Amino acid sequence: MVDQVPAVPVGVLTDPAQAFALVGGAEDAERFTFGGATVVIGLAGTVIVTEAGDRGPARSGVWNADEVRLFGPAPAPVTKRLMGRTWTWGAVDEGLPVHLMVRLEEGLLYLGVSRTVQVGTALQPGCTEYELTRCVVRLEVPLSRSLLDRVRPPLPAVNLPGLDWLRHVNGDRGAALEQFVTGWYPVTNAVDTPSTRLASAPIPDGLRQLYRLAVQRPAALGVQNRIYPESDLRADDRGEMLVFGVENQGGFVWSLLWTLGGEETDPTVWFCDDSESPIAEQEPLSGFLLQFSLFEAAMRADYLALPRNLELTAQQVDQLTERLDPVPLRPFWPWSPTRFYVAPGLVMHVCEAGDSKFEAWAGATHRSALALLADATVEWSRFDG
């Protein structure tokens, strides 16, 4: 029988004996260390201890006021405890508490009770059971700003991508695209590999430029939505359009006229789905590719700021964007007209949600870039600043 577990106030320093008491005592507890974190499992619950500091997007630690992230591979008992029956179809959470702590020089600082909200697993060769490779646990009560700064002290910005590209948007869009992509994405493929050309159709200069940039920066072709690799370009079923981009679930595609006129170096982009006639994007290919790149950069960023309210007012949008620079392009995406606002290392897109309401999403290359949004009077579902 497990004795009653003592309560620990949030923000109070504890010691290992108190940590063991939270899981029902040291006698039956198991302790595991992996990926920069320590997990103690007992009959009454679990304690997770991470190191203090901003440890980056791929290291265990406090991520924001709501979340702690763990990276494995985790031992089997940890995998079983943190995934639990919650992740079995139709099962009910067993309800054992998961306590979070951070190791400081002066002791273990208690952060509160949490629950697992996201997991990643992998099946290693020769194994029959999946192991936990990534886990996100969410605090029941978010950390105050002062407590967050104590366990994850803010770091100064380093080499934020600049805005030199912005002055080229309505002059030399090829230069704007190149400067944005090379500034935002690091080189991940140092080898120049020749692409396979689609012999039966010419490729406009803007699309060819993006393919050249993507040789060393494959993420430039998108993660949420995608630009097809050059070798995968195809005609539509009627042989009239060259399909070059697709929505992440295949709900719509972007196309160009299959036969491009010799004088048309910056063709119209057509938004196409199965139920409607093609709709022209407001910007030609040169502006569209810049908008696509901005949208994908925000969507795939490591550091995000996401308002909880999906129906922001114009006044709230003005407040969110007042310290950002608007990108001088006509709205992107006919289904939900979208405009872009930027700052060094930050991209925000704001889309119309109907009835004078808006949705917003901001992504950044470093959490310090999100400081421009910290004082906005919106409730965040996620704020990584």
Asked if 145 and 86 count as a contact pair (C-beta separation under 8 A), the reply is no
pLDDT score for 126 = 79
Alpha carbons 334 and 351: distance in angstroms, whole number: 10
> Which tokens sit at 249?
């679930």
Three-state SS for the chain is: CCCCCCCCCCCCEECHHHHHHHCCCCCCCEEEEECCEEEEECCCCEEEEEECCCCCCCCCEECCCCEEEEECCCCHHHHHHHHCHHHCCCCCCCCCCEEEEEEECCEEEEEEEEEEEEEEEECCCCCCCCEEEEEEEEECCCCCHHHHHHHCCCCCCCCCCCCHHHHHCCCCHHHHHHHHHHHHCCCCCCCCCCCCCCCCCCCCHHHHHHHHHHHHCHHHHCCCCEECCHHHCEECCCCCEEEEEECCCCCCEEEEECCCCCCCCCCCCEEECCCCCCEECCCCHHHHHHHHHHHHHHHHCCEEEEECCCCECHHHHHHHHCCCEECCCCCECCCCCEEEEEECCEEEEEEEEECCEEEEEEEECCHHHHHHHCCCCCCEEEECC
Nearest alpha carbon to residue 138 among 162, 122, 161, 115: 115
Per-residue pLDDT of the chain (385 residues; tens, 9 = 90+): 445 556 789 999 999 999 999 999 999 899 999 999 999 999 999 999 999 999 888 899 999 999 999 999 999 999 999 987 554 444 434 578 999 999 999 999 999 999 999 999 998 887 878 889 999 999 999 999 999 999 999 888 778 999 999 999 999 999 999 999 999 999 987 665 554 444 445 789 999 999 999 999 999 999 899 999 998 998 887 878 899 999 988 788 999 987 655 557 899 999 988 777 889 999 999 999 999 999 999 999 999 999 998 899 999 999 999 999 999 999 999 889 999 999 999 999 999 988 889 999 999 999 999 999 998 989 999 999 9
pLDDT score for 257 = 85
Largest CA distance in the chain: 82
Q: Tell me the sheet residues that pair with 121.
A: 132
pLDDT score for 6 = 63
pLDDT score for 263 = 59
